[in-house]
Structure 1
Amino acid sequence: MDRRSFLQIAAMTGLAVAAPRSARALTPYAGPFYVMISARGGWDPTYLCDPKPKGGPFNRLYDFDPAIDKVGPFHFADIPLAANLVTDPMAMQYLMKTGDFFSKHVNNLLVVNGVNMQTNNHDRGVTTTWSGRGDGGYPNFAALVAATRAPAHPLAFISSGGYDGTGNLLPVTRLNSVTSFRKLAEPNRVNPADPMNQSTYVPAATFDRIRAAQDARLKAYKDAQHLPRIADSAGQLYVARGNLDSLSQVALPDTLIDIPNELSDLERMMQQTQLAIAAFQAGLAVGVNLELGGFDTHANHDTTQVRQLAKLLKGIDYVVEQATAAGLYGDIVIMVGSDFGRGKGYNGVNPGDGKDHWPVSSAMFLSGDPSLIGAGRLVGGTDEVDQLPLPVDPDTLDTLEPGDDTGVVITAGHIHLALRELAGISEGAPAQKFKLAGEILPIFT
């Protein structure tokens, strides 16, 4: 399938594609690529990568043994996946236990605990997590890299949900649904979902004439315009259509992943992953947002939070598997984060109670090239009394005692400053336009 087909599919499945700005051939972007995965709603790190002893205010669900519930430097919340988390037994295979996730990815994983998000507001939280600052219209990190490395590429920054601010540095390509993927991949096919039915609405030659007539009509419309903005927009669309045939092939999946209906949010994330990896392979994209919601567990925390975390881990694992199969994982940096954390403790004493917003969170990073992110390390932490972030030594990142004023409490700003250094974009014009205050910590070294 060529890129014309890919962009046709994308445009009709919620993928709003920005037209190229000129007719010149674009050099395919070869990486590194950036995948931002948002656990929307506010996850609970104590149920994931920052476990706490049972019996305290933070955990009444799992037994935590620091000597056992550990893989490499990472402690994890060893939460069993009860059968009643799903109604369809076939759905269980698409949930992933924390222990299985950490065991599989230990050598490619970096965990940062005790991140002071400085807010417990959802909107400000997601903005802070993905841009490093909660106000000022700062761009998502993936958009910042895309604007620095490949701003003219038509799919440079793809967003399928979450914070997709670009700071007006470049267009955002929004990918929200792939329900009509097959139908729109071959618009002349009567029933593209049926591989046995090859009938078309019109003969191929007629379909080509229709497309040619559309192009001629668009050119005539452009030539008749006198208002600069309309003429420019029509010209961009005309150039985009004219460029499509010169673009190289893109390897799209023959089929989209199909999992049990009760996991529709995870299925959507997985399908968006398939398209994102295809865009990376084509050299059209630099970064992508993926999102899984349902983490705002003010009630029924011990069931809903566990289920959503198990989906999230499976979704992250799927990104890794797809990137590995495409030969791209060594050139990909994955960041996983959330609006903020949850706590401290529960908001009631009943089994169905939840946890409220808490401005202390965690972040996880993965890459097929461990040296790229300094994988195999745990940075930071929280105390077991108030679930507050512990300071770290600014040079070694060793965790210090609470209240040690020689240390630094890690914020999202610190993470993004380090990410900019990692990507080599700190001195670029986009980053200089959207500066971040603070010191650069050796988070990825």
Structure 2
Amino acid sequence: MQRRSFLQAAAAAGLALTIPSVVRRVNAAEPFTGPFWVQVHASGGWDPTLMFDPKLASEHTRAYSEVARVGNIPFAPTPIDLAALNVSQDYDYQTRLLSNEQFLNKYGGRLTVINGVDTKTNNHDSGTRSMWSGQTGEGYPSLGALIAATQGPGLPMAYISSGGYDATQGLVGLTRVSSVSSLQRIARPNLMDPQDLEGDKFHTADTWQRIGRYQRERIQRLQEREGLLRPRAAMGALEMAREADGDLSRLELPAELVTVPGNDLNDLQRMMQQSQIALHAFKSGIGASATLSIGGFDSHANNDRDQRRQLAKLLAGIDYLVTYAGTLGLQDKLYVVVASDFGRTPYNDRDGKDHHPISTMFAMGPNIPGDRVIGATTEDRLAFAVDPNGLQPVSSGGVTITPTLIQRALRRAAGVDAELDAAFPLGGAELPLFS
């Protein structure tokens, strides 16, 4: 069996931690200090023409009559209009949402936008898999899982997910947590009140240590008696998880999660809370990557209203993520990658837009160039190929930008372990998308 095939089979069996370079990091007890990666998924398929790939043809837009720019980045000039977005005007929602222009004024100098991304699908599941793993079919881990498996597979919250494509293929544990109180109980199981670090405990310190020692000794006895590799590996994973549980005590959570009044921005509130939990795990040194999500983008009817509303929430959520990271001292260590299932067609007869394979994505982080647009689409929303060296759009020849090529470039930018990269190979041209 080839080494690559072996590693894939091992991952499927939950044995991927036998990779030597990963084992070394599993055994490291030091808190992880970054860089940290957050993948943000806009679920349902967003409309790039209402973002950073604007078109003026009437079959593509009815929401604006000119293309605006901030620096080198074009955008659809659609201001926040609560009435037009069918959002309540009873609260200060105007200040809680973000327009394209507001977002670019704040982050355009740090942003790389990639237009004309050919997902080669109009299926939600395969589109989501493709954008975050580089493959439309099943069997490949997400970018977040590869980063977590590279940077900190032994961390108790190495990979945190709140939706989107988060397959791990057994490379690393996946944490799904939305409640601060439940997470506190997991992190501090010996405290009667997990919010009171000096409060009463269920067991004395000596008893708690004995329980841990007896658990380790029992696992060792079971492993010695077990002859099959997979059960032995599962026992080892359990032991490692228990050891990592001790590191959870380092987790410092916010006293309470952020709230937004009313009900119209509940999904934005959830995204903001997801951000808080992920960033506090990063700050505590027990997490390396996270996936956040916000839905509502499948706009087969009322496209302009629904897309503009959800995009304003998405951009506001990203702004909250980056701003909150700054309050924790993490902003200069944070990478953010944003994508959706696919794009949208011209208008249908319900004022909606249907599924279209050509999409957009964008990213920012410490070493990602800013104020940059790569790729383009025709007025019919078809993808231009790009020159593989300079990345300029070309009318003939060139390379079509696909999720596979984007994921290859992201793996390089994130420093994904070479053996993990080889175990789940991505073919095609090597494009300097993030360098």
Pair 1:428 & 2:427 matched: no
Give the alignment partner of residue 410 of structure 1, picking from 396, 401, 406: 401
Question: 1:355 is matched with which residue?
Answer: 353
Amino acid at match of 1:433: A
How many Å separate the matches in 1 of 2:209 and 2:342?
52
Q: Which moved more, 1:70-79 or 1:228-237?
A: 228-237
The runs of at least 4 consecutive aligned structure 1 residues that moved more than 4 Å come to 20-25, 179-192, 205-248
| SS of equivalent to 1:37 | strand
Q: 1:183 to 1:443 in 2, by over 3 A?
A: closer
Give the alignment partner of residue 390 of structure 1, picking from 384, 387, 393: 384
Q: 1:431, CA displacement in angstroms? A: 0.4
Q: 1:86 to 1:442 in 2, by over 3 A?
A: same
- Whether the 8 Å contact between 1:114 and 1:390 is mirrored in structure 2 is yes
Superimposed CA distance per residue, residues 328-374 of structure 1 (whole angstroms, 9 cap, x where no aligned partner): 2222211100000011x1111x5xx210000000001012x2xx112
Amino acid at match of 1:418: A
Superimposed CA distance per residue, residues 69-125 of structure 1 (whole angstroms, 9 cap, x where no aligned partner): 110001111112222231242333221111100111011111000101110000000
Question: 1:346 is matched with which residue?
Answer: 347
How many Å separate the matches in 2 of 1:170 and 1:190?
30
How many Å separate the matches in 1 of 2:333 and 2:267?
27
Amino acid at match of 1:77: A
In structure 2, runs of 5+ residues without a counterpart are 1-16
Q: 1:302, CA displacement in angstroms? A: 1.7
Question: 1:74 is matched with which residue?
Answer: 73
Q: 1:436 to 1:90 in 2, by over 3 A?
A: same
Question: 1:378 is matched with which residue?
Answer: 373
- Whether the 8 Å contact between 1:86 and 1:92 is mirrored in structure 2 is no
How many Å separate the matches in 1 of 2:193 and 2:249?
27
How many corresponding residue pairs?
402
**Superposition map of 1:246-285 within 5 A:** 249-260=250-261, 261-285=263-287
Q: 1:390 to 1:235 in 2, by over 3 A?
A: closer
Question: 1:204 is matched with which residue?
Answer: 200
| SS of equivalent to 2:153 | coil
| SS of equivalent to 1:204 | coil
Question: 1:29 is matched with which residue?
Answer: 32
**Pairwise CA RMSD:** 3.1
How many Å separate the matches in 2 of 1:243 and 1:120?
41
Q: Which moved more, 1:408-417 or 1:166-175?
A: 166-175
Q: 1:247, CA displacement in angstroms? A: 6.6
Superimposed CA distance per residue, residues 48-69 of structure 1 (whole angstroms, 9 cap, x where no aligned partner): 111111x5200011222x3xx1
- Whether the 8 Å contact between 1:122 and 1:339 is mirrored in structure 2 is yes
Q: 1:208, CA displacement in angstroms? A: 4.6
How many Å separate the matches in 1 of 2:274 and 2:290?
9
TM-score w.r.t. length of structure 1: 0.81
| SS of equivalent to 1:373 | coil
Superimposed CA distance per residue, residues 278-333 of structure 1 (whole angstroms, 9 cap, x where no aligned partner): 11112222211000011001112121111110000001111110122222222221
- Whether the 8 Å contact between 2:385 and 2:400 is mirrored in structure 1 is yes
**Superposition map of 1:219-298 within 5 A:** 237=238, 240-241=241-242, 244-245=245-246, 249-260=250-261, 261-298=263-300
Amino acid at match of 2:94: M
TM-score w.r.t. length of structure 2: 0.83
- Whether the 8 Å contact between 2:342 and 2:357 is mirrored in structure 1 is yes
State the percentage of identical aligned residues: 40
Q: Which moved more, 1:149-158 or 1:40-49?
A: 149-158
Q: Which moved more, 1:224-233 or 1:150-159?
A: 224-233
Q: 1:380, CA displacement in angstroms? A: 0.9
Q: 1:393, CA displacement in angstroms? A: 1.5
| SS of equivalent to 1:335 | strand
Question: 1:39 is matched with which residue?
Answer: 42
Q: 1:21, CA displacement in angstroms? A: 9.2
Q: Which moved more, 1:84-93 or 1:164-173?
A: 84-93
| SS of equivalent to 1:259 | coil
Amino acid at match of 1:323: A
Question: 2:8 is matched with which residue?
Answer: none
**Superposition map of 1:55-134 within 5 A:** 56-64=58-66, 66=67, 69-84=68-83, 85-87=86-88, 88-134=90-136
How many Å separate the matches in 2 of 1:137 and 1:312?
29
How many Å separate the matches in 2 of 1:117 and 1:339?
8
How many Å separate the matches in 1 of 2:182 and 2:247?
23
- Whether the 8 Å contact between 2:154 and 2:240 is mirrored in structure 1 is no
Superimposed CA distance per residue, residues 166-191 of structure 1 (whole angstroms, 9 cap, x where no aligned partner): 2322222223x227558848886689
Q: 1:222, CA displacement in angstroms? A: 5.3
How many Å separate the matches in 2 of 1:208 and 1:272?
34
